[in-house]
Amino acid sequence: MFERKSGIILIAGIGFFALAFLSNAVVPVLMYRHLPEQTAEQLVNGNLRYQFEDLAQRFPQAFETAYGQPPADPEKAGRWYDEHCASALKLGHQIYVGEGCWHCHSQFVRPVSNEDRRWGPVSKSWEYQNELQRPVMFGTRRVGPDLSREGGRRSSDWHAVHFFEPEALSQKSPMPRYPWLFDGSPDKPNIRGLALITYIQWLGSWHETYPYYEDYTAVPIKTAAAAE
């Protein structure tokens, strides 16, 4: 049976499919059945709130156009920021999906190839147990860097300029421009631009090592030319 075509089809085609389905679908579902999925509101943490209020200071006009004025009462203002921050996360996530950022960026630091030395701690499954990972944003390939620990790595105005014109900050960057996230210039992100920046600043903001890149120093990569 093992040497016949039908045997190979049975084992390779059906057998391994069943095994993969069991290990990649059934087992995780059973393992995480009791872990509640977090909502965007629950994902607003202190690090992210700081970045969101920082957006309000860096882009006061754009922020006011998008969200209006926070209430004068400090307690109400706190809730106001939290609510807008959560809705910005959701919108930012939609834009990330819609613009196809995941065609070029992964959100998964793998436990191989010393990836953690480049991109921070290896991703754990609990990090994906939330609303903003539906559908999961593992990505399909890496034209650009992994973004799992991107939050806090760059300032929000860096991101604004970069989304407006990647080449202004990174020579010959193949990343597309996203001018429709702005009302004209990089200092005027619209509600979608602010949301996408919020989403990017959220990535990894939940992790105990945040901000992972505070002491980041780039390790020069040996190029083929230098090796010669």
Residue with tokens 């300029």: 161
Q: Which of residues 104-143 bind ligand HEC (CB under 6 A)?
A: 104-105, 143
Rounded CA-CA distance 94/135 in Å is 10
Under rule CB under 6 A, residue 150 binds ligand HEC: yes
> Which of 127, 130, 154 has the alpha carbon at shortest distance from 212?
154
Interacting residues of 182 by C-beta distance below 8 A, sequence separation 6+: 160, 163, 164, 188, 189, 190, 193
Min CB(84)–ligand HEC separation in Å: 20
Q: Which of residues 13-72 bind ligand HEC (CB under 6 A)?
A: none
Residue span binding ligand HEC (CB under 6 A) among the ranges 23-31, 43-51, 79-87, 145-153: 145-153
Using CB under 6 A, which of 144, 155, 161, 190 touches ligand HEC?
144
> Which of 172, 179, 97 has the alpha carbon at shortest distance from 139?
97
| Alpha-carbon dihedral 155, 102, 47, 68, rounded to 10 degrees | 80
In the complex with ligand HEC, which residue's Cβ is closer, 125 or 170?
170
Report yes or no: 76 and 47 within 8 Å, Cβ to Cβ. Answer: no
Residue span binding ligand HEC (CB under 6 A) among the ranges 65-73, 76-84, 102-110, 220-228: 102-110
Rounded CA-CA distance 193/186 in Å is 9
Min CB(200)–ligand HEC separation in Å: 5
Min CB(93)–ligand HEC separation in Å: 10
Which residues make up the interface to ligand HEC (CB under 6 A)?
A: 96, 99-101, 103-105, 143-145, 147, 150, 153-154, 159, 166, 170, 173-176, 178, 196, 200
